[in-house]
Amino acid sequence: MRTDLQPTTEQQTTNFFMPIIIGTRGSALALWQAHAVQAMLQSRYPELDVRLEIIHTTGDKILDTPLSNIGDKGLFTKELEVALMDGRIHLAVHSLKDLPTVLPDGLTLAAVTERERPEDALIAPAGTTIATLPHGGTVATGSLRRRSQLLHLRPDLNVVDVRGNVPTRLQKYQTNGWDGMILAYAGLYRLGLAQHIAQIIPTDQMIPAVGQAALGLETRADDTATIALLRGIEHPPTRICTDAERALLRRLEGGCQTPIAAHATLAGNQLTLHAMVASLDGSTIIASQITGSPDEAEELGNRVAGELIERGGKEMVEGIRGSR
């Protein structure tokens, strides 16, 4: 455990005796994200020495099984969190959608960076949309949330599972003869692969995952110096929106492998949260929306979750979890 980092003011945080170590997964997208955070920190604190350490997670090692069959608690975060608690790294960079809403004791979500566009994207021949996919066509996705919403829109489609990082999934799409595949827009854009997108799917058709397109920066709760550094690169509007989304997910006790979706937007002094819970086959969707003050982000998330629960959402989630 480091004992040399005591300062808490922004001026003091530039006077570190040791480099700041960022923990990251090793995929191309994870490395892009870690390098982006490294660049943010070095831009804000030019004298800061920031380095990366690649850590392989369980989710990176098990590639031949659908995520929904192996659980989702810390699949892409546990090993990074162990490195944090052991003092080997100072912060971990996560895709916020992968970070559980309840963190291990002693760890905290220190900052959330500015969000990229949160929509999902359809990979398909140019000009194709969800509506114009061939009748009975095959579409690949590794997400139960996407599967449910896609089948709600197009129950005739055959939806197949796909695993792997973004380039691997694109290669599988090209070699398997599928009619389409759905990925997050943000990952494709960040890797310079947006030319493969046929349609950016509107959020009123497919609500994104909680925290999608935002980066979550996790640290030890007692590492006041690193936390102070990260406050300098946090994006408050994104933090407000994702706090509302994560509060909803926490109350529903869902994870990234249950068909729960939430998307918050901030316009002036109004925070609006859209959310839904769906059956696996997409035949039933329970949706809700609320608008309120940004100061009440978590409360709004809890209120929407409460409405979804009252309408049967929690039983739906528990039924899906029990069937796996």
Report, as residue numbers or ranges, the catalytic residues.
98
By C-alpha distance, which of 74, 79, 115, 78 is closest to 98?
74
27, with CB counted inside 10 A (0-12, 13-18, 19+), is: buried
CB 145 within 8 A of CB 260: yes
What Cα–Cα distance (Å) separates residue 147 from each residue in 172, 206, 227, 261? 18, 10, 37, 12
